[in-house]
Amino acid sequence: MHTANEIYKTVEKQPSHVFDMVSAMDHEQVMFFNDAETGLKGIIGVHNTVLGPSLGGCRIWNYENESEALWDVLRLSRGMTFKSAISGINLGGGKAVIIGNPKVKRDEAFWRRFGKFVDSLNGKYITAEDVGTSIEVMSIVMQETKHVTGKPISAGGAGDPSPFTAYGVFLGIKASIKQWTGSDDMTGKTVAVQGVGSVGFYLVGHLCKAGAKVLVTDINEANLARVVSHHPVTVIDPSEIYSVAADVYAPCALGASVNSETIPHLKCAIIAGAANNQLANEPLHGQMLLDRDIIYAPDFLINAGGVINCYREIHSLSETETMHLIDNIYDRSLAIFAKSIAEKIPTQEAAISMAMERIDEAKKH
């Protein structure tokens, strides 16, 4: 595996050729799958299995082209490697993306075919829910493969991982507040949450309970209606989310929202949210945040609660053991902030370095 600095630099821009893209982030395996009968088409990326089998959700998205889909699965699976490593669990990083097609009926046959493709990897990749999928979908997939997690409780699983992801993000926000102010008291702090779907909704609940003033936005009106009916929040237009005055910007939708266009408009002291791959360009935008003294809580660190809950399902951990692993997000966040300051490097680079230390140590045994 490349050094932390080498990996950090490789994502500065997207390569144009398939093998350049795959080798840029040191992936072990990439599988393209296609089924003419169901219309299923997608990619599974296996980034690293040093610590254990790769795990990552299955995402459906309307990609502009296959190259965009490949780049997405590569970045997401890489992030899963670091997420598991830094969380202290014995899993590697993987991900699946399915190319959205409105003409395709995503019925039982569709998902069972996906399950067969997952099963063909013989346990090297374990799938789970993600954007566009659900625990109900996983209950169909599991009919074709045992290499699936995030299953319904009724099917012997640990249920929806979203509440656990949200709790971990909340801990990351509290740690960031402590780093900024010296206290993790959330009373009166303003948090702007972008995306109030499954994870964002639960996160808002934690924030409101802690006494924060919460601003929310979402392009899905049903998501907004749900959160407004349950919590005392203020709805803002999606176009305002980057320039609104807030202590914390919490991106909980899709990635790459922290970029060269948005960073100059930010009026926050902290960025901490649930979305994966929040930095569009890791080295450039991580440094831009550092230069502006904006505290960035690395996404793969603080949104690890969901994968930890999936790990619980795989290894039959108790709820106490699971919550202990998630609670560690708070202290690890503070450790990353300290490393960033001591070494004068962006927090994302500090977190990747810490994750890689565990992977490299495992290689010795």
Q: What's the pLDDT tens digit per position in 138-194?
A: 999 999 999 999 887 777 777 788 999 999 999 999 999 999 999 999 999 999 999
The set of catalytic residues is 95
Please list the helix, strand and coil fractions of the chain in percent, rounded to the nearest 5, in that order.
Answer: 45, 15, 35
Q: How far is CA 88 from CA 240, 326, 357, in A?
A: 37, 10, 11
Distance CA 309, CA 345 (A): 31
Distance CA 321, CA 312 (A): 8
Sheet holding 92-99, edge to edge: 29-35, 40-48, 92-99, 54-61, 125-129
For 94-144, write each residue's pLDDT tens digit.
999 999 999 999 999 999 999 999 999 999 999 998 888 988 899 999 999
Distance CA 192, CA 266 (A): 11
Task: State the burial class of residue 257 (Cβ atoms within 10 Å of its Cβ: 0-12, 13-18, 19+).
Answer: buried
Domains with residue ranges and CATH for the chain: 4-80+91-155 (3.40.50.10860), 162-359 (3.40.50.720)
- Residue 4 pLDDT more than 50? no
Nearby residues of 353 by Cβ (< 8 Å), 6 or more positions away: 4, 339
Determine how β-strand 40-48 pairs with β-strand 92-99. antiparallel
Residue 240 pLDDT: 96
Residue 287 pLDDT: 96
Distance CA 226, CA 27 (A): 39
Distance CA 88, CA 355 (A): 9
Residue 10 pLDDT: 44
What 3-state class would DSSP assign to 323?
Answer: helix
- pTM (predicted TM-score): 0.89
For 19-58, write each residue's pLDDT tens digit.
777 777 889 999 999 999 999 999 999 999 999 999 999 9
46 and 28 in contact (C-beta within 8 Å)?
A: yes
Residue 3 pLDDT: 43
Instruction: Give residue 255's identity as a one-letter amino acid code.
Output: G
74 and 113 in contact (C-beta within 8 Å)?
A: no
Q: How far is CA 66 from CA 77, 95, 101, 200, 292, in A?
A: 16, 15, 13, 29, 36
Distance CA 4, CA 303 (A): 21
For 304-345, write each residue's pLDDT tens digit.
999 999 999 888 888 899 999 999 999 999 999 999 999 999
Nearby residues of 190 by Cβ (< 8 Å), 6 or more positions away: 212, 213, 214, 215, 245, 246, 247, 248
Mean pLDDT for 230-245 is: 96
